[in-house]
């Protein structure tokens, strides 16, 4: 009876969503680069500021227009600004981003790696000076899990968040919905990786995982200036980093994007083995073949040439094998996006969520509010997930979604 009620709510929600969509002007499309490869998590919005969204991991977007014609603006780190006039709703748009101009000014006659290290040290000092400053905001979280190509888990959640320029300090769950099929390998607390992998280290010797920004940057990491990109008169250094061979602790590798003039952090891309952060419990006949974790965080401008977290996304994969059986592969993708910054809201605990929390169990405890999801503008502007929805719908495994 419970499943029938949930499915009834789902069908009603879908019908009402179709009716609501008919009352608006919805523009859909895909953002690609010059090689026709998708550009994930690009910012897409109307030039007059009336609405915006981000592309999903395969470059798709869906955005409501209050009226047409309007000018659509697309932005993504490492690419030039793209604008297009949208005069009518029709076939999905394909928007091509051109790579940003790459400039190498006086650094070509100096030591590029020394320039990279100096920028990293300036950025680290700025982050450390403001380490105790707290920010508050409202964020939307989406997580999807696939096992051997088939989706097993999908959930959306809205959180009120307390965060610093180092980590997410705590959050309160507001609304959520989910679809879930049991079985296979499950990340019971995947969001803890997004919340707990630090942007920088205050005391590297205390950290279980070393990251490139912090007081011991030169001691633990090697930095290479890949290029400097120019966007609207602003120069951003693209700096690759990797841990030095003598480092004994687990450490990330990846790329930093740092403003050349202000040393403000604009983006941080980090990769590390999952096994260096998590312990796996599995049956004796299973062997872990490979695992990988990638975290990308983008930062928005703040006062005094600072930046603050705007979004973070994670992708993880793990492959198990056992004798005389096909490998078992699981992929998880998650995204946390701040859609509003706020002061500290009264009545909110912003409770710290432990590393052993179970995300799905928390979500499943929430009372489902169908009207909230029908009327929520953030969700309507979020990337379309038709393939995921149809996959769960066909197997009749919806919970509160």
For residue 71, what is the domain's CATH number? 2.60.40.1120
Instruction: Give yes or no: residues 38 and 164 share one domain.
Output: no
Examine the domain organization and report whether 65 and 162 are in the same domain. no
Residue 253 and residue 170 share a domain: yes
What is the number of structural domains in the chain? 2
pLDDT at position 322: 78
Tell me the C-alpha distance between 51 and 55, whole Å.
14
Report how far residue 273's alpha carbon sits from residue 290's, in angstroms, rounded to the nearest whole number: 9
Contacts of 172 (CB under 8 A, 6+ apart): 159, 160, 348, 349, 350, 351
Same domain? 117 vs 174: yes
Integer Cα distance of 25 and 64 in angstroms: 6
Whether 46 and 168 map to the same domain: the answer is no
Tell me, yes or no, whether 325 lies in a domain.
yes
Domain residue limits at 76? 2-99
Q: Quote the pLDDT of residue 3.
A: 37
Looking at 33, 67, 99, the residue that finishes a domain is 99
What tens digit of pLDDT does each residue of 139-160 get? 999 998 888 888 888 888 999 9
pLDDT band, residue 204 (cuts 50/70/90): confident
**Where a domain ends, among 60, 82, 99?**
99
Q: Assess whether 125 and 243 both reside in one domain.
A: yes
Is 40 in the same domain as 168?
no
Asked if residue 2 has pLDDT above 70, the reply is: no
Confidence of residue 258 (pLDDT cuts 50, 70, 90): very high
Q: What is the mean pLDDT of residues 367-385?
A: 75
Within this chain, do residues 90 and 113 fall inside the same structural domain, yes or no? Answer: no
Q: What is the mean predicted confidence (pLDDT) over 28-36?
A: 92
Per-residue confidence band for 31, with pLDDT thresholds at 50, 70 and 90: very high
Q: Other C-beta atoms within 10 Å of 94: how many? A: 11
Percent of the chain with pLDDT over 90: 38
Q: Span 271-288, mean pLDDT?
A: 75
Q: Note the pLDDT of residue 395.
A: 67
High-pLDDT (> 70) share of the chain, %:
84
Residue partners of 335: CB distance under 8 A and separation at least 6: 41, 141, 142, 143, 311, 312, 313, 314
Does residue 81 sit in the same domain as residue 138? no
Are residues 272 and 348 located together in one domain of the fold? yes
Q: Is the model more confident about 186 or about 80?
A: 80
Q: Is 196 inside a domain boundary? A: yes
Q: Do 71 and 119 sit in the same domain of this protein? A: no
Lowest model confidence (mean pLDDT) among 56-65, 156-165, 208-217, 267-276: 56-65
Burial of 57 (0-12, 13-18, 19+ CB in 10 A): middle
pLDDT of residue 212: 96
In a domain, 378, yes or no: no
116 domain residue, yes or no: yes
The token pair at 315 is 């992708």
Q: Does residue 374 lie within any of the structural domains?
A: no
> What is the pTM assigned to this prediction?
0.83
Q: Report if residue 377 sits inside a domain.
A: no
Residues 80 and 111 in one domain: no
Residue 127 has pLDDT above 70, yes or no: yes
Residue 305 in domain? yes
Choose one of 45, 68, 99: the last residue of a domain: 99
Say yes or no to pLDDT of 124 above 80: yes
Which residue is listed with tokens 């590297």? 204
Please tell me the predicted confidence (pLDDT) of residue 243: 96
- Give residue 8's pLDDT: 37
Residue 198 lies in a domain: yes
Mean pLDDT lowest for which of 4-13, 31-40, 103-112, 278-287?
4-13
């Amino acid at each position: 009876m419970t499943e029938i009620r949930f499915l009834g709510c789902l069908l009603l929600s879908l019908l009402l969503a179709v009716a609501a969509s008919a009352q608006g002007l919805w523009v859909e499309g895909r953002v690609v680069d010059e090689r026709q490869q998708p550009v994930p998590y690009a910012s897409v919005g109307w030039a007059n500021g009336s609405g915006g969204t981000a592309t999903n991991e395969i470059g798709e977007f869906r955005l409501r227009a209050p009226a047409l014609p309007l000018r659509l603006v697309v932005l993504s780190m490492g690419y030039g600004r793209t604008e297009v006039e949208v005069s009518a709703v029709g076939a999905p748009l394909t928007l091509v981003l051109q790579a940003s101009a790459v400039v190498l000014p006086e650094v070509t006659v100096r030591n590029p790696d020394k320039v990279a290290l100096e920028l990293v040290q300036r950025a680290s000092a700025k982050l450390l000076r403001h380490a105790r400053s707290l920010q508050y905001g409202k964020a939307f979280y989406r997580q999807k899990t696939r096992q051997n190509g088939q989706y097993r888990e999908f959930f959306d959640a809205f959180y009120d968040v307390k965060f610093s320029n180092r980590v997410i300090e705590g959050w309160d769950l507001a609304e959520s919905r989910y679809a879930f099929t049991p079985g296979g390998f499950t990340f019971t607390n995947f969001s803890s990786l997004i919340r707990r992998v630090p942007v920088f280290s205050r005391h590297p010797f205390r950290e279980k995982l070393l990251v490139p920004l912090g007081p011991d940057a030169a001691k633990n990491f090697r930095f290479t200036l890949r290029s400097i990109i120019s966007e609207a008169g602003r120069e951003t250094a693209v700096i690759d980093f990797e841990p030095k061979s003598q480092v004994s602790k687990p450490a990330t590798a990846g790329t930093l994007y740092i403003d050349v003039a202000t040393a403000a952090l604009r983006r941080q891309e980090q990769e590390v083995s999952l096994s260096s952060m998590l312990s796996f419990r599995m049956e004796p006949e299973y062997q872990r073949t490979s695992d990988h974790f990638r975290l990308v965080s983008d930062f928005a401008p703040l006062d005094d040439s600072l930046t603050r977290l705007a979004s973070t996304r994670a992708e993880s994969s793990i492959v198990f094998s056992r004798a005389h059986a096909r490998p078992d592969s699981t992929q998880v993708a998650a995204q946390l996006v701040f859609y509003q910054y706020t002061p500290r809201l009264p009545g909110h605990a912003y409770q710290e969520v432990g590393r052993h929390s179970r995300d799905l169990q928390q979500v499943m405890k929430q009372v489902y509010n169908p009207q909230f999801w029908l009327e929520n503008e953030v969700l309507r502007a979020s990337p379309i997930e038709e393939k995921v929805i149809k996959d769960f719908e066909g197997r009749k495994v919806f919970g509160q979604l």
